[in-house]
Amino acid sequence: MSDTVTVTLKTFRFNAETDYLPYYKHYEMEVGKDELMLDLLNRIKWEHDGSFSYRRSCRHGICGACGIKVNGKATLACKQNALELVKLFGNELLIEPQSTKRAVKDMIIDKKDFWDKHAAVKPYVVADIDPHPEHETKQSIEEFNKFLDADLCIQCGSCHYACPVVEVNEDYFGPAAFVAAYRFTVDTRDEAGEERLELTAQMGQGVWDCVKCFECAEACPKEINPIEKITKLHNLQFEKKVAVSNVATRHAEGFVRSIKRHGFLDEADIVIYSEGYLGMYKHLKTAVKMLKAGKIHWQDSLPFVDNVPKSKNLSEIQKLIEISQTNKL
């Protein structure tokens, strides 16, 4: 009786010291129902090619060393059942490092950008405490629960190297650094919250450059949901009065202005309000094209002037904003 499945591992191979280009090698093996991806990586090394390289250490999903991508899906090799992936992607699995362009040897990548950005947000409690305290620094369950899930981060890099912004903008901190920034900012023992919020509020490197693709939420093997923490950092900027008026903060706040007036978003107004009248020159070319195509309406009145359909029962919406709005810019 055979309850194994024949699986082909199309495996990324590269040695930065000797290879001009990476290549993919196929390894075929019989895979049993209890085998993990790490077992298959071991079998490549032990049964096929002893030079095959990958990081691994704890085998318990806690050290974060064995992060790889299988058919584009970020995963921890030691946590991931192999046949689950066969079910998802079929009998040929594409095994790649988290970031092919950072490959050093096979699955091993240079994570310098990850660690530099992680360190930049001060991922530790900053507190001026007596070196010989008489009492422990107590925390309530509620205070602890604020960062409980964010604290589960093992710095595996799965979310960081799944994030498309990290690939396009080298200044961008990335989701893992944001999770760390959030985790220590909401820690009641910490005193560097404002500094972290200012760091993560800056354009280019901060949370306003997040494209909201949810790749990080999908990638995290510890189910931390990094983008949820990114949203919380956004909100904290306003709550703690760290937010400065710029195109991104006005864009977020401008939604309230529009919804109050129309229920719907006023698509022209949000651009003008966010960019300012001077900043509008960048969009004139596009605006003219949109006018020509009939995307900006002027049948009823002048374009850009209160020409948005209004929600029925608009007064309800206005009342709800009045009694529910908690943040201000």
Partner 1 sequence: MMSNLKYALFTGCTAKQSTPELLSSTLAVAEKLGIEITILEEASCCGASHLQDFDEFLAHVLNARNICYAEKLGMTMITICNTCQLNSAMTKHALDTDPELKARVNEKLAEVGLEYKGTSEIKHFLYALIEDYGLEKIKDQVKVPLSQFNIAPFYGCHNIRPSELHHNVNGGENPYNPTSLDQLIEALEGHPVDYDHKNKCCGFHVELQANHTSEVLAGNAMVDAIDNNADLMVTPCPLCHLKMDTYQDDIGHVIGRDVELPVLHMPQMVALALGCTEKEIGLNFHVQKATQIYSEAQN
- State the nearest-atom distance from the C-beta of 278 to partner 1, in Å: 14
| 255 scored as a contact of partner 1 (CB under 8 A) | yes
| 241 scored as a contact of partner 1 (CB under 8 A) | no
Distance in angstroms (rounded) separating the CA atoms of residues 223 and 19: 36
Q: Output phi, psi for 103, to 5 deg.
A: -65, 135
Nearer to partner 1, 105 or 249 (CB): 249
Helices and strands (H and E) in the chain: how many: 13, 7
- State the nearest-atom distance from the C-beta of 282 to partner 1, in Å: 8
Of residues 179-208, which lie at the interface with partner 1 (CB under 8 A)?
203-204, 207-208
| 73 scored as a contact of partner 1 (CB under 8 A) | yes
| 299 scored as a contact of partner 1 (CB under 8 A) | no
Radius of gyration of the chain (CA): 25
Rounded to whole angstroms, the maximal C-alpha distance in the chain is: 77
| 81 scored as a contact of partner 1 (CB under 8 A) | no
Contact pick of 59, 190, 253, 304 for partner 1 (by CB under 8 A): 253
Which residue, 123, 243, 142, 118, is CA-closest to 190?
A: 123
Of residues 7-36, which lie at the interface with partner 1 (CB under 8 A)?
none
Q: How distant is the alpha carbon of residue 213 from its chain centre?
A: 8
Nearer to partner 1, 5 or 256 (CB): 256
**Number of Cα atoms under 13 Å in the Cβ half of residue 94:** 10
Distance in angstroms (rounded) separating the CA atoms of residues 275 and 269: 10
Of residues 269-288, which lie at the interface with partner 1 (CB under 8 A)?
271, 274-275, 285-286
Stretch of 57-65, 134-142, 152-160, 243-251 contacting partner 1, by CB under 8 A: 243-251
| 86 scored as a contact of partner 1 (CB under 8 A) | no
Q: Count the Cβ atoms, other than its own, within 10 Å of residue 272.
A: 16
| 240 scored as a contact of partner 1 (CB under 8 A) | no
Contact pick of 98, 158, 185, 225 for partner 1 (by CB under 8 A): 225
Binding mask 124-143 for partner 1 (x = CB under 8 A): --------------------
Contact pick of 92, 116, 143, 316 for partner 1 (by CB under 8 A): 316
Distance in angstroms (rounded) separating the CA atoms of residues 100 and 121: 26
Q: Is 40 exposed, middle or buried (0-12, 13-18, 19+ CB in 10 A)?
A: buried
- State the nearest-atom distance from the C-beta of 19 to partner 1, in Å: 23
Binding mask 97-126 for partner 1 (x = CB under 8 A): ------------------------------
At what angle are helices 175-185 and 193-201 packed, to 10 degrees? 150
- State the nearest-atom distance from the C-beta of 74 to partner 1, in Å: 10
- State the nearest-atom distance from the C-beta of 156 to partner 1, in Å: 18
Contact yes or no for 25/56 (Cβ under 8 A): no
Give the angle subtended at the CA of 225 by the CAs of 80 and 197, to the nearest 5°: 140
Nearer to partner 1, 24 or 214 (CB): 214
Enter the DSSP assignment of 237.
H
Q: Output phi, psi for 314, to 5 deg.
A: -60, -30
